[in-house]
Structure 1
Amino acid sequence: MNKPRRSARPLPDIAGALLADAFRKQGFSSSELVVRWSAIVGDDVAAHAEPLKIQWQKVPDGQPSQPGTLVLRVDGPAAIEIQHMSHVILERVNRYFGFAAIGKIAIRQAPLRRVPPRPDRRLDPHAVQSIAETLPGETDPALKDALARLGAAIKRK
């Protein structure tokens, strides 16, 4: 008996479903606020603060829902600056949502969970050219190019 074959699902679909539950537990209806944080609030704020969660107040049935509290993780030295900019952050976040979803901001001082920037892997073409000129002329051109790029990469470090 042949079993029906299941086609492989793309990784982003699987990861998206798994991450959606984690974001929902932190009060985010979607991952958009976290993923687009820098575009929403600007690079000046995103360099020192990141969203942790949104706390929503429980309201009795029939009552209008209350705006939530956006909890931000902020670098210690930047906490006062972010506190003074809280009205600007509120405006930018609510403009992104399209309505007054967030009513206030709470700040938690802690180091940010930053992904270290990837080092620049581009080589200086002038360095590659100057190293290539020092190699013997009768060398295979592909080998000469590879050795020149290797030499430039070593010199860069």
Structure 2
Amino acid sequence: MTPACKKRGFASIDIIASWADIVGERYGTRVQPDRLIWPRQPELSDPERPPQPATLVVHTDGPTALMLSHDSPQVIERINTFYGWAAIGRIKIQQKPVAVKRASTRKALRPLTRSEEQQLDAKLETVENDRLREALKKLGAQVIARNAGTAA
């Protein structure tokens, strides 16, 4: 656990690093998790009982805040699924500008030469499942196209 995460109430950086995957495309780049506010825990008589859920504080712009307030039950469910238990009980939305993260654009890969295609087909001819063979061919073509420039 990093000190910055601990200060913000996060047990680890996992939720921040996986935020876009957890909340989906709509909120992944437009909503930023800020901190978790955990309720004070009285002396627990039952150590088996999980702690009370936290409040997740997020930053977003005005229009997204309106959508998020409507979708918050689904977002909470997705976050709790990520954690594996009911860690989040509610979301507190603060309207602040959020720097929209742009998806990095990958440069287009070059097409394979006829020789490279034949070599790849030869390596995959023993794969009996058509869907698996096509998936492996697609992956192999990307690997060859990406690595061919570095091998020279």
TM class, shorter-chain normalised?
Answer: 0.5 to 0.7
Deviation at 1:114, TM superposition (A): 3.7
> Does residue 26 of the first structure (1) align with residue 2 of the second (2)?
no
Aligned to 2:131: none
DSSP-derived class of the 2:81 partner: helix
Aligned to 1:59: 41
Report the more deviating stretch, 40-49 or 26-35. Answer: 40-49
> What is the aligned counterpart of 2:18 among 32, 36, 39?
36
Return the structure number with greater relative CO, CA threshold 8 A, min gap 6. Answer: 2
Aligned to 2:141: none
Structure 1 stretches lacking a partner, 5+ long:
1-16, 123-157
Contact 2:30 2:61 in 1 (8 A): yes
The letter for the 2-side match of 1:107 is I
- Residues 47-74 of structure 1: per-residue CA shift (max 9 Å, x gap): 3211111100111111552100011111
Q: After TM superposition, which residue ranges in structure 1, 4 or more long, deviate above 4 angstroms?
A: 115-122
DSSP-derived class of the 2:93 partner: strand
Partners of 1:114 and 1:51 in 2: how far apart? 13
Partners of 1:70 and 1:101 in 2: how far apart? 9
| Percent identical | 34
Aligned to 1:90: 76
Partners of 2:5 and 2:52 in 1: how far apart? 20
DSSP-derived class of the 2:94 partner: strand
Aligned to 2:65: 79
* Alignment size in residue pairs: 107
The letter for the 1-side match of 2:82 is Y
Deviation at 1:113, TM superposition (A): 3.2
Deviation at 1:117, TM superposition (A): 5.4
DSSP-derived class of the 1:66 partner: coil
DSSP-derived class of the 2:98 partner: coil
> Larger Cα Rg: Structure 1 or Structure 2?
1
Structure 2 stretches lacking a partner, 5+ long:
109-152
Going from structure 1 to structure 2, the CA distance change for 1:115 and 1:49 (only over 3 Å counts) comes to: closer
Aligned to 1:10: none
Partners of 1:87 and 1:57 in 2: how far apart? 19
The letter for the 2-side match of 1:77 is P
Structure 2-normalised TM-score? 0.62
